[in-house]
């Protein structure tokens, strides 16, 4: 399951604080713990199983450390309340420096009066003040269920939880996520203005580019630079390069100019392209004709030809859409929702194999690594596609074996339909039931959709679509702030993610009436950072545009990214493959291998494995949050082109 989705869903923290050098026994199983933060305080929490959000608001979140028995019911054995004015505790991946008096944090350096800081199981030993009064007070409450210590401003705490513990954190200003994974979360109680100046400086935006296509600029919200691909990968693979974007300096009357190779560079007030193919990839700008489109399809699939060959060759060559889409509307009214994401060494690379080889799929850890991927999927950021459960995809993955130290590699190609299950806004504890109905999106676009069935919600929480619930306050905040700015001073904007789609966790919870499982072998997660709408939790059929059609509007579905991908390969598909599978055939529309197919159709989807290693292969690029998105619009003097129209 996802620990981070949107800031409120991101999680709740707790801490047990005790006197200097006096370890306290672990909190009892199923303990319920509460902490009250002051502005500037941070808390980090670790869970050996998985952190699951239970409730959230602007200033309060609650989190469960998942029981080892997923069916176990929560019980409360004790309640521990700790004032978060306690002495600073700093961590680096749950390890606390025990000899330093100056503790370095990710945001600033905090000096404490402590000489000993330790963590023992679920026990957090506080750095106690040398002040005798404070020390005696701490000793007096060491055996109590509530521990309180006086401490300097901007305290930082750490807590290790046992399975079934429930944690609640309160903040007098607003809770802001600092980092997150499935088992570890750090939150900041937003400082008041005097403290806020001490926060870390936003890194500069790196430029990420492609040849002969509009630049895809990686947003600076990715806090860690992705590692290079493993050295075992064929080094002859070409590195993606880019055409230069237009500079901020423009002619008083913009005109077309040619760059290297005679390619016409984007310029403001350029004309719209006079023609368009619904089956061919394009970016926002046509470098040959010097004109723009009103939507973009993400990355140029030819960037990954060195890994996978020509995209679309398995179904006749179309680089946008395929014979197994979810219905005719996908490539007519919603054509602008087709996106392609390419990730490979030299272009939007995944982290180095072995460093981020897990997924959000419960109980599965990757044996192998996805080094490169080219995925076409369908999504319109905003209400138009979050009300629909089923969308299409086709994925190609270059997979390397962990047992061979990633020197033995192969290819998996698979696709069909994805059932995204329930709609959540903003997180697991806030499901919105699709009532069914008809929605008028304007511009002649009307869409009828189906109500959710009784099989929802899934017990595991996946698959899902996450969105942001509408409120007048948050709509105004989004309108004031660019989606390109992390944490844009609204309740939910964190690292520029608004809508998020995650596929099944391979448990066959969702299936056809005849028992056919949905999406058992392929998993991916992607997001839109600048969706068109906020979702009305009270009436899903109400449309709340953020700024559609307004000059300078940046909420137009052009900021997208794929954070994780995984595939499971079974030896049964080639019993004599000796740890690898080579196979060419078909699956049904839900990705299950199928016999009897002779050509590609809605229920006969190409399924090709070329020396693919057996086991789970996965890569993710969270940078401590599921937020890696790239911009596919072009900007002039810091402003969006204004060319993109709904539904992009």
DSSP per position, 250-316 = --SS----B-GGGPBPP-TTPPBPS---TTS---SEETTTTEE-SS--BS-GGGGHHHH-STTGGGT
Encode pLDDT of 182-220 as tens digits.
577 777 776 653 222 222 222 232 333 333 333 444 443
Structure tokens given for 329: 């509307």
> Do 434 and 328 share a domain, yes or no?
yes
* 484 and 358 in a common domain: yes
| Exposure b/e, 88-121, CB count within 10 A at least 16 = b | bbbbeeeebbeeeeebebebeebebbbeebbbee
Predicted confidence (pLDDT) per residue in 579-607, tens digit: 999 999 999 999 999 999 999 999 999 99
**For the residues 483-507, what does the mean pLDDT come to?**
67
- Residue 120's pLDDT is what? 25
Asked whether the predicted pLDDT for residue 517 surpasses 50, the reply is: yes
**Better-predicted residue by pLDDT, 231 or 516:** 516
| Exposure b/e, 457-494, CB count within 10 A at least 16 = b | bbebbbbbbbbbbbbeebbebbeeebbbebbbebbbbb
Cα-to-chain-centroid distance, residue 135: 44
Chosen domain end from 196, 228, 262: 196
Which segment of 59-63, 264-268, 462-466 scores lowest on mean pLDDT? 59-63
Are residues 230 and 164 part of one domain? no
Structure tokens that stand for 575 in this block: 């019993």
Domains in the chain: how many in total?
2
Q: Are residues 326 and 466 in the same domain?
A: yes
Between strands 156-160 and 123-125, the pairing is unpaired
pLDDT tens sequence across 211-262? 333 344 444 333 333 333 333 333 333 333 333 333 333 334 566 676 667 8
Q: Are residues 171 and 291 in the same domain?
A: no
Domain-embedded: residue 646? no
Residue 437 inside a domain? The answer is yes
Considering the domain boundaries, does residue 25 fall inside one? no
What are the tens digits of pLDDT across the range 21-62?
Answer: 333 333 344 688 888 888 778 888 888 876 766 555 446 677
pLDDT number for residue 460: 81
Q: Note the pLDDT tens digit of each residue in 599-630.
A: 999 999 999 999 999 999 988 876 555 568 89
- 243/473: higher pLDDT: 473
- Write out 343-360 in H/E/C secondary structure: EECCECCCCCCCCCCECC
Domain-embedded: residue 339 = yes
**178 and 291, same domain (yes or no):** no
Kindly tell me if the per-residue pLDDT of 180 is higher than 70.
no
Identity of the highest mean pLDDT range in 98-102, 279-283, 629-633: 279-283
Query: Over pLDDT 90: what percentage of the chain?
Result: 48
**Is 7 a member of any domain?**
no
The answer on 379 and 336 residing in a single domain is yes
Q: Do 260 and 117 have their domain in common?
A: no
Co-location of 515 and 375 in the same domain? yes
CA nearest neighbour of 37 among 199, 192, 202 = 192
pLDDT reported for residue 226: 33
**Bridge partners for 641 per DSSP:** none
Q: What is the 8-class DSSP label of residue 586?
A: E
Distance CA 287, CA 268 (A): 14
Does residue 267 register a pLDDT over 50?
yes
**Residues 186, 258 within the same domain:** no
Shared-domain flag, residues 161 and 288: no
Q: Where are the beta strands (DSSP E) in 458-558?
A: 464-466, 499-502, 522-528, 533-535, 543-545
Whether 458 is covered by a domain: the verdict is: yes
pTM over 0.75: no
Examine the domain organization and report whether 507 and 395 are in the same domain: yes
Is 209 a domain residue? Answer: no
Burial of residue 328 (CB within 10 Å: 0-12, 13-18, 19+) is exposed
Decide if 389 is inside a domain.
yes
Query: Does residue 101 have a pLDDT over 70?
Result: no
Task: Provide the mean pLDDT of the chain.
Answer: 73
pLDDT score for 229: 36
Is-cis flag, bond preceding 457, omega within 30? yes
Residue range(s) defining the domain that contains residue 407: 217-246+254-640
């Amino acid at each position: 399951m996802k620990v981070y989705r949107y800031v409120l869903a991101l999680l709740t923290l707790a801490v047990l604080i005790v006197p200097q050098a006096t370890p306290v026994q672990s909190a009892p199983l199923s303990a319920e713990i509460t902490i009250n933060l002051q502005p500037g305080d941070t808390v980090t929490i670790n869970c050996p199983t998985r952190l699951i959000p239970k409730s959230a608001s602007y200033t309060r979140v609650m989190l469960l450390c998942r029981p080892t028995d997923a069916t176990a019911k929560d019980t409360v054995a004790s309640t521990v309340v700790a004032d978060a004015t306690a002495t600073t505790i700093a961590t680096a991946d749950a390890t606390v420096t025990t000899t330093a008096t100056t503790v370095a944090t990710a945001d600033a350096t905090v000096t404490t009066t402590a000489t000993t800081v330790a963590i023992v199981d679920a026990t957090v030993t506080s750095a106690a003040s040398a002040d005798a009064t404070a020390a005696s007070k701490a000793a007096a409450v060491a055996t109590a269920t509530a521990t309180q210590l006086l401490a300097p401003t901007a305290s930082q705490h750490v807590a290790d939880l046992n399975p079934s513990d429930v944690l609640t954190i309160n903040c007098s200003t607003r809770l802001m996520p600092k980092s997150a994974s499935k088992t570890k979360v750090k939150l900041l109680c937003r400082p008041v203005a005097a403290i806020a100046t001490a926060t870390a400086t936003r890194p500069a935006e790196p430029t990420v580019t492609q040849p002969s296509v509009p630049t895809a600029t990686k947003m600076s919200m990715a806090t860690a630079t992705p590692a290079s691909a493993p050295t075992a990968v064929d080094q002859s693979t070409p590195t993606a390069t880019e055409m230069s974007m237009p500079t901020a300096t423009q002619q008083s009357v913009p005109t077309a100019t040619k760059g290297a190779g005679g390619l016409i560079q984007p310029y403001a007030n350029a004309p719209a392209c006079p023609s368009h193919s619904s089956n061919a990839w394009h970016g926002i700008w046509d470098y040959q004709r010097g004109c723009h489109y009103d939507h973009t399809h993400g990355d140029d699939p030819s960037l990954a030809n060195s890994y996978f060959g020509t995209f679309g060759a398995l179904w006749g060559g179309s680089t946008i859409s395929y014979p197994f889409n979810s219905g005719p509307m996908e490539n007519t009214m919603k054509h602008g929702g087709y996106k392609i994401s390419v990730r490979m060494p030299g272009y939007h690379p995944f982290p180095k194999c072995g460093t981020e080889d897990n997924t959000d799929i419960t109980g599965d850890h990757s044996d192998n690594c996805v080094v490169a991927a080219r995925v076409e999927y369908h999504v319109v950021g905003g209400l138009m596609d979050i009300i629909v459960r089923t969308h299409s995809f086709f994925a190609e993955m270059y997979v390397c074996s962990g047992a061979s130290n990633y020197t033995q590699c192969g290819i998996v190609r698979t696709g069909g339909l994805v059932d995204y299950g329930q709609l959540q806004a903003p997180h697991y504890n806030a499901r919105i039931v699709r009532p069914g109905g008809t929605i008028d999106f304007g511009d002649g676009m009307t869409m009828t959709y189906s109500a959710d069935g009784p099989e929802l919600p899934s017990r595991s929480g996946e698959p899902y679509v996450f969105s942001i619930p509408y409120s007048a306050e948050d709509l105004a905040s989004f309108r004031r702030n660019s989606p390109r700015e992390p944490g844009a001073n609204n309740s939910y904007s964190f690292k520029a993610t608004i809508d998020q789609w995650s596929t099944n966790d391979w448990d066959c919870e969702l299936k056809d009436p005849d028992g056919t499982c949905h999406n058992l072998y392929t998993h991916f997660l992607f997001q839109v950072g600048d969706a068109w709408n906020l979702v009305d939790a009270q009436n899903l059929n109400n449309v709340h545009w953020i700024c559609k059609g307004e000059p300078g509007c940046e909420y137009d579905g052009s900021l997208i990214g794929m954070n994780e991908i995984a595939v499971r390969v079974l030896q049964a598909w080639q019993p004599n493959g000796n740890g690898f599978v080579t196979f060419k055939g078909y699956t049904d529309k839900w990705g299950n291998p199928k016999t009897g197919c002779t050509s590609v159709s809605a229920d006969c989807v190409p399924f090709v494995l070329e020396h693919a290693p057996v086991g789970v292969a996965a890569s993710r690029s969270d940078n401590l949050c599921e937020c890696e998105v790239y911009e596919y619009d072009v900007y002039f003097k810091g402003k969006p082109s204004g060319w993109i129209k709904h539904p992009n």
